[in-house]
Copies of this chain bind each other. A is one copy, B any other.
Amino acid sequence: MTQPNPDVAIAQAHTLEPITEIALRAEIPPEALVTFGPYKAKVDITRLRGRREAGQLVLVTGMSPTPAGEGKSTVLIGLADALTRRGLNAAAALREPSQGPVMGIKGGATGGGYAQIVPMEDINLHFTGDFHAVAAATNTLAALVDNHVQQGNELRIDARRIVWQRCLDVNDRSLRGVITGLGGTAHGTPRETGFTITAASEIMAVLCLAADLEDLRLRLGRLTVAFTFDGAPVTADDLGATGALAALMKEAINPNLVQTLGGTPAYVHGGPFANIAHGCSSLIATRVALEHADLVLTEAGFGSDLGAEKFFDIKARHGGLDVAGVVVVATIRSLKYHGGDLADGVRNLARHVDNIRQFGATPLVALNLFTTDTPAERSFLRDWARDHGVALAECEVWARGGTGAEQLAEVLLDNLSAGSRPLYDPRHGVEASIATLATQIYHAEKVEYSPQALRDLAVLREHGWDRLPVCISKTQYSFSDDPAALGAPTGHTLHVRELIPRTGAGFIVALTGAVMTMPGLPARPAAEGIDIDAAGKISGLF
């Protein structure tokens, strides 16, 4: 298990450029660069000047994935390097890996093969501490809530209605449901609660949607942590916690800068999960990238139904971003997974392509090639694209990096357009928003609300929160809320289990199906294969 695996071995064999050189190429002024060793840096947003907002933004999404993933980040990185090779001033804006899954089934999230961001070991392990800062703020707030109840409960918090959960960046199923406060009156009030993974904390969403430190502070203050015995919401502001939380996020708010193997500047910042959160890297990083590069590639987690939809309806709406092009990553493996044959499975891809068009954006399919793909399979997809008027390019980024995405870069540059838009108007209410997404994006026939969700709806209305955009938490494996319904299901029912107001982030989370906000570890965790030698060289990271 400890033999070198290709990804970490390729990354370690690569000679990195100093991050100061990358920053020069990225046009980040030296006084705004805060280095973390020779190859990582943060960009101090309070020291950026002379901003321009001229770059074009390209979103990379995918068809519904197989459990192994379709290489979305890998394609993004290879494509960015192909653009850099053409002499363009390109940048990548990606999410930070979550350490829990690195130790679990998934390995790292820094691309693969010859399309990686580096130093991959550092980025996958702690990086510059942003996730830890989110967890520290989340858990400090939780301690302040319980402490308020313990110290006399001046605000009259109903301990049964403390909604703020703790978090950890660990895949730990045992923390999903816990009772805290045991041991007697000196040790708190016993109550049932749970931990989410850090990527699912609302503070992660706040970090990723904030415009600057002031906006971050405002949003942190609006976090709803509990309800009183009278049903009134209690916020971080009410607890006097806002300043401390913002201080804990002081460095985390600054985007991280690293490089791809092809030397493209990569802003890697923020990492909300895409199935259980909004799945987009930070707005601040996207803006910094657009202000300093001509073409910015960013990703949104999983398919058009999850990350891309939230990119348009939450992040781009909020941040006023225009998307000039959307790359939909597909693999022959995934096409087969979604149908008995390719002709059947391609209906999944077709729906993602159609979905992208609903946002006024131009889709481009990137077929991420594997050595097992046959000429017949590849020609099937080329024919399908031609017959359906879909732009398509093959790429071979894992094995060839930027040189494997030259055709993709060319097709992308030929297909840039303007005028993307959100799908629904949240002012029509959260039920209308959910209905629009369910029918137009998921192709469901109807939406069913659980009794809990109906009670939640009443609470949203009572507090005027029902006109916020919606962030649907749903399985990534299907357009429906049933992970086994592959392909392009229709006529199904979307089950809304729970509606959670995220008053800090500024959206309503709708939990559907049985989506977990805390993953578990598999029978053979990836952690078992990770090692480090006496000189500090890490092995076993994927």
Assess whether A2 is in contact with B212, with CB atoms less than 8 Å apart.
no
Assess whether B176 is in contact with A179, with CB atoms less than 8 Å apart.
no
- When all copies of this chain in the complex are counted, the total is 2
Assess whether B174 is in contact with A188, with CB atoms less than 8 Å apart.
yes
Assess whether B180 is in contact with A178, with CB atoms less than 8 Å apart.
yes
Contact with B along A101-142 (1 / 0, CB 8 A): 001000000000000000001100110010011011001101
Assess whether A182 is in contact with B172, with CB atoms less than 8 Å apart.
no
Docked CA distance A327–B172 (Å): 46
Residues of chain A at interface, number, CB under 8 A: 85
Assess whether A523 is in contact with B214, with CB atoms less than 8 Å apart.
no
Report which residue of A1, A125, A169 has the largest number of chain B beta carbons within 10 angstroms of its beta carbon: A125
Assess whether A139 is in contact with B168, with CB atoms less than 8 Å apart.
yes
Q: B residues within 8 A CB of A484?
A: none
Chain B residue at minimum C-beta to C-beta distance from A531: B243
Q: B residues within 8 A CB of A250?
A: 121, 125, 532, 536, 538
Docked CA distance A42–B125 (Å): 17
Assess whether A241 is in contact with B187, with CB atoms less than 8 Å apart.
no
The stretch from A144-152, A280-288, A403-411 touching chain B is: A144-152
Assess whether B187 is in contact with A180, with CB atoms less than 8 Å apart.
no
Indicate which residue in B135, B140, B166, B174 contacts A189 across the interface (CB closer than 8 Å): B174
A372 within 8 A of B: no
Assess whether B243 is in contact with A520, with CB atoms less than 8 Å apart.
no
Indicate which residue in B46, B133, B140, B192 contacts A170 across the interface (CB closer than 8 Å): B140
Assess whether A170 is in contact with B143, with CB atoms less than 8 Å apart.
yes
A213 within 8 A of B: yes
Assess whether A173 is in contact with B192, with CB atoms less than 8 Å apart.
no
Docked CA distance A140–B177 (Å): 18
Q: B residues within 8 A CB of A539?
A: 243
Contact with B along A148-168 (1 / 0, CB 8 A): 001110000000000000101
Indicate which residue in B126, B244, B531 contacts A527 across the interface (CB closer than 8 Å): B244
A390 within 8 A of B: no
Q: B residues within 8 A CB of A152?
A: 523
Chain B residue at minimum C-beta to C-beta distance from A188: B174
Question: How far, in Å, is A525 (CB) from chain B's closest CB?
Answer: 6
A432 within 8 A of B: no
Q: Quick one: given A150-B520, A178-B180, A527-B144, are A46 and B536 in contact (CB under 8 Å)?
A: yes
Question: How far, in Å, is A21 (CB) from chain B's closest CB?
Answer: 16
Assess whether A186 is in contact with B168, with CB atoms less than 8 Å apart.
no
Chain B residue at minimum C-beta to C-beta distance from A191: B174
Assess whether B170 is in contact with A213, with CB atoms less than 8 Å apart.
no
Q: Quick one: given A129-B132, A520-B150, A532-B213, are A247 and B538 in contact (CB under 8 Å)?
A: yes
A183 within 8 A of B: yes
A17 within 8 A of B: no
Assess whether B139 is in contact with A212, with CB atoms less than 8 Å apart.
no
Q: B residues within 8 A CB of A34?
A: 36-38
Assess whether B241 is in contact with A528, with CB atoms less than 8 Å apart.
yes
Question: How far, in Å, is A466 (CB) from chain B's closest CB?
Answer: 29
Contact with B along A236-266 (1 / 0, CB 8 A): 0000111110111011000000000000000
